[in-house]
Amino acid sequence: MQRRRLLKALAGITGLTGLASTGFVAPAFAQTGTAAKTPLEVWKDPDCGCCGDWVKHLEANGFAVRVNDTGNSAARSRLGVPAKLGSCHTALVAGYAIEGHVPAREIHRLLKERPQAVGLSVPGMPVGSPGMDGVAYGHRRDPFDVLLIAKDGSTQVYQSYNRPQQGEGLPSVEGEVRKIYKASGKISLKHGEIKNLDMPPMSMVFQVKDTALLDKVKAGDKVRFTADQINGDYTVMSMEVRRD
């Protein structure tokens, strides 16, 4: 009798243990686990201070960085980054080359979107980019572009930083409306020189930042407008019909 009671008690304990293992252990593990950081390898000069600051920026934004203090010229060439896009350090992450002071945010975006590309570059060492900011640079913020490098070596703007927003500070340009594409939010303009884009007088199809602008003009209207490059697209930021 006592033996049977003991066996029943042990069976009850075993059953509770089984419930615990399926109902409680996994949530406890999930609560204590931490997200793994993304591994990234960088090549830089051992005495480059701004490279070290860029590494700190990446480490603070989810990357586990392995540093090679051997210079980066050989790595840049090996990873297929054109010399004209060069900077003071080169990195490799998930098969993509990262050249220069690229913000961590754009690297995360690259890994999420997974384009067919060599990688990203911020050519030179623009003040205001990660690692080239802070007190030593007077907190200056110069405009710079993050470039997406295609397999053929060509580039397009992946993201712009520190540029005027909403047409602020952009030069006014005279033009004439040739055609309106409301469905795609675009407009064709014959225009004069757009100095901030280094664009000569020509006819060009632009994206429009605010599609409401298209309701205020029609083909043949003489207009004044401002334009900028947003996420790689030439974009009309503001526009009004000329009254003169």
Q: Would you list the domain boundaries of the chain?
A: 38-161, 173-241
Q: Taking a C-beta distance cutoff of 8 angstroms, is the pair 97, 80 a contact?
A: yes
From first to last of its 244 residues, what are the pLDDT tens digits of the chain?
A: 444 554 444 444 344 333 333 332 333 333 334 579 999 999 999 999 999 999 999 999 999 999 999 999 999 999 999 999 999 999 999 999 999 999 999 999 999 999 999 999 999 999 999 999 988 888 888 999 999 999 999 999 999 998 765 556 789 999 999 999 999 999 999 999 999 999 999 999 999 999 999 999 999 999 999 999 988 899 999 999 998 7
173-241 classified as CATH 2.40.50.320: yes
pTM over 0.85: no
Superfamily name with CATH number, domain 38-161: Glutaredoxin (3.40.30.10)
Longest Cα–Cα distance in the chain = 109
**Structure token digits, residue 234:** 């030439």
